[in-house]
Structure 1
């Protein structure tokens, strides 16, 4: 089967079954230069994602045919480079953690007053072209920012988009303290407002990937939590 054609940067799949919210999203997004394509079911979302290669997908969790978390897990498994932004009315920390653990990269609570600003930040990171950089080697871990690859003794570590960007920032400052504010600005949004639970959950997932059984024989840098400040990537 031939790979799908690359969608334009402005093409934006939206998964939302509520007609009123869907219309408001469609109007707001079109008025700001996006071309939303709306799916009302989880199965429709999976079919749309398979038709074209998209940069970002907006996903509601309350869908009629599937749990939105299951949709997020399936999308993450099939399309590892897709940025998944969950849109939901659920506000409890446990729901935020569940959404991020399911594979989402970002989490916005309805109403979506910050949606456009957050989308602009995500799109900007996807379209900025940076000059090639030399891979950063820390013990047996290699972070190649240009190729967006993280390898451990030549074995690739599969990371979600934000899971990769975290060590990319920390590796540039290996051995130095990096504040939570700096990480939120460089990995998510320089105008971030509200909870930084997203950072904690993504960092926990990154640690699991770098300390699993595959990492045992190798020299892997450790991420130290600096309470009240941020994190430090320790030189191995």
Structure 2
């Protein structure tokens, strides 16, 4: 899942990026509310983690802008504003969740998993197609009940394809799932990931649809 983190505390943002990256999330970071609004309008994320005390505008304005456009993108407010009135205001303005700083990382991850399930990107913790199984909770992959070691990026590509079994996933869509803003991407980066996966998965499991993308057929 691609998360837009809107946070002007650079130290906190870097810590969050590292923690969420380890859990398989792709994090893009915006410091200003105006940058966040532009990114959201471009469709660059699946959800938003939003601080309220931003340098150029109040985070509530960002949330209101999103909801005024009838955008149903999930927004989780992460803020030091701890009054009940602020929490009620945030939820009434359209936030899907509201977490107060300081927070426990385990709680944040649990709240994100709830949003993932609501989005349908993680309807269940186990995804199986044929003899290949992806365990989202443990970030593990097995073939015929034997665990297969994959790099983080290879795992993300396989998970994206497994979640969309029966549908074609474009190269651009896979790139957006795997790489963050500003990360250098080789022209054949996804092809390399697919090659790595094919070496460890059953023959013909991942099919290339030339000029369109890749697919895994439902069993």
TMscore range, shorter length: 0.5 to 0.7
1:112 to 95, 99, 103: 103
SS in 1 for 2:5: strand
CA distance in structure 1 between the partners assigned to 2:110 and 2:44 by the alignment: 22
Task: Give the aligned partner of residue 19 of structure 1.
Answer: 10
1:124 to 102, 114, 117: 117
Task: Give the aligned partner of residue 35 of structure 2.
Answer: 44
State yes or no: 1:96 paired with 2:90: no
Asked if the contact 1:70/1:102 (under 8 Å) is kept, the reply is no
CA distance in structure 1 between the partners assigned to 2:72 and 2:88 by the alignment: 20
Write out per-residue CA displacement over residues 118-143 of structure 1, whole angstroms, 9 at most, x where no aligned residue: 0011101211669xxxxxxxxxxxxx
Asked if the contact 2:116/2:123 (under 8 Å) is kept, the reply is no
**Residues 97, 35 of structure 1: alpha-carbon distance in 2 compared, 3 angstrom cutoff:** same
CA distance in structure 1 between the partners assigned to 2:35 and 2:21 by the alignment: 21
Q: CA deviation at 1:117?
A: 0.6
TM-score (norm 2): 0.52
State yes or no: 1:87 paired with 2:52: no
Q: Which runs of 4+ in 1 moved over 3 A?
A: none
Q: CA deviation at 1:64?
A: 0.3
Gap runs ≥5 in structure 2: 125-219
CA distance in structure 2 between the partners assigned to 1:96 and 1:43 by the alignment: 22
Q: CA deviation at 1:53?
A: 5.5
Q: CA deviation at 1:99?
A: 1.1
1:33 to 24, 29, 50: 24
CA distance in structure 2 between the partners assigned to 1:15 and 1:80 by the alignment: 17
Write out per-residue CA displacement over residues 15-56 of structure 1, whole angstroms, 9 at most, x where no aligned residue: 000011111111111010000000000001001101225332
Q: How many residues are paired up?
A: 121
Asked if the contact 1:62/1:68 (under 8 Å) is kept, the reply is yes
CA distance in structure 2 between the partners assigned to 1:37 and 1:55 by the alignment: 11
CA distance in structure 1 between the partners assigned to 2:18 and 2:4 by the alignment: 14
TM-score (norm 1): 0.49
Q: How does 1:1-236 map to 2 (within 5 A)?
A: 10-52=1-43, 54-113=45-104, 114-127=107-120
Write out per-residue CA displacement over residues 167-186 of structure 1, whole angstroms, 9 at most, x where no aligned residue: xxxxxxxxxxxxxxxxxxxx
Write out per-residue CA displacement over residues 186-208 of structure 1, whole angstroms, 9 at most, x where no aligned residue: xxxxxxxxxxxxxxxxxxxxxxx
CA distance in structure 1 between the partners assigned to 2:70 and 2:32 by the alignment: 18
SS in 1 for 2:75: strand
